[in-house]
A and B are shown apart, each in its own frame.
Chain A
Amino acid sequence: MWRRALDAAAQEHNVNIMPMTLQDKLAILSDAARYDASCASSGTSRRDSRDGKGLGSTEGSGICHAYAPDGRCISLLKILMTNFCIYDCVYCVNRVSSNVPRARFTPEEVVHLTTEFYRRNYIEGLFLSSGIIRSPDKTMEDMVQIARLLREREQFRGYIHLKTIPDAAPELIAQAGLYADRLSVNVELPTDASVAAYAPEKNPATIRDAMGDVKARRLASKDRSHTGKRPARFAPAGQSTQMIVGADGSNDAVILNHSARLYGDFRLKRVYYSAFSPIPDSSARLPLIKPPLMREHRLYQADWLLRFYGFGVDEITGVSAGGNLDLDIDPKLAWALAHRGLFPVDVQRAERETLLRVPGFGTKTVGRILTTRHHRTLRYGDLQRMGAGLKKARPFITLRDWSPGALTDSADLRARFAPSPEQLSLF
């Protein structure tokens, strides 16, 4: 019953707008897509078009074909299918209550833009999301239709990322995963309470169900059946999600705990953090602040420590006030400064886990240390060549030809790393 009313509402919209050129639509529908942080196009199955019967290739790591003045990589054509939306998520430029101009691509238009941009070497592929028109199923159906046209009719072998609609029918998600390299469902906000407050039509449990469904299908697609036949690949580049930072009151501990759960429960490839940024025609209910870019940056660093350095959330967020990361220094350095008793570390002998905790040592550097120290005694100069950030590491390590002496415990150590307050105000 409500569906018919919504149809009518959507049509009422359409009559109100002038016919638009492809240029106009592209302007509106890429503007609306820029709040999605991900542009990754890496880590999918290898494909090419050497057979001369198709277009495109993917080989391991994706390529950034341009950079915008916001420093972000442009790898994919990142657009909305439509920015009409019947939901009213407060933080979103497309919410039903916003007055931004609306547009809607036909599936053919999206296919055209993707392949023509691809042929000119502008992009690695398509990242398609959408506002919700009429119903979640109808929206998802149209998105799947676009992916199908690309793969089957155009023989497109580049990268496709579809942002799935959590409320859509599981069969549609199942189809989406057969055409797409990556699927994502955005959790949007760090807590269920925030979702209820700011995205009232969304249901956190449904979002989690959708992620669980994608995970299950990915696992199933990796199992050989008893006949030894491999099922079709399902979203080979995995699934990811995005959380908006700074729109609600959640602190970094809440955010990172949520990420840790998501990585654990759904085997996500990435959690993206998107600093809440002022949007055209914003809602009166949200703070119109400069986007907290430094906070976003520190969250990415912390996320990295969780996944590759063996840190726990409590360790990272426990060393600064109020469960928020220190904005002035990176989270590993903050942790080390709070645990000076464990330092300095003997680089020649310390275990891998310990080395990973040294500020300025990345996983690559640690790998090089481990292989080289078998053969010989490491010196300060060796670390330099191995790519260690020695300005940071110096107070925390000892080597045959280096000892930090009293530096490790000196009272002004933090001040040496933190930027002066003037510099800080730049953000």
Chain B
Amino acid sequence: MIDYYVATFYSTNYALKCEKILKQSFINVKLIPVPRQVSSNCGLAARMDGEALKAFRGLCQEGSIEAENLYSVVKDGKKLIFTPLSRE
């Protein structure tokens, strides 16, 4: 069972842009520190549920936002397992 999804960005500025655009479309995402498992960046990533992911992908295709990578996250006890997803 997938618990949630995470998107990473080229930079914090892209993350902030994405957050603002999604909020304007009433799509719920939460910016979080980039999980160490997917990047050594000190920036921000977006955490979202399955429904938000659909809208997120739509906006990526439209070109209004840009993500670097998308992951699904599964909780396994204390561990989080990140699996890369296609952006489309």
Q: Are chains A and B native binding partners rather than an unrelated pairing?
A: no
Interface residues, chain B, CB within 8 Å of chain A? none
Interface residues, chain A, CB within 8 Å of chain B? none
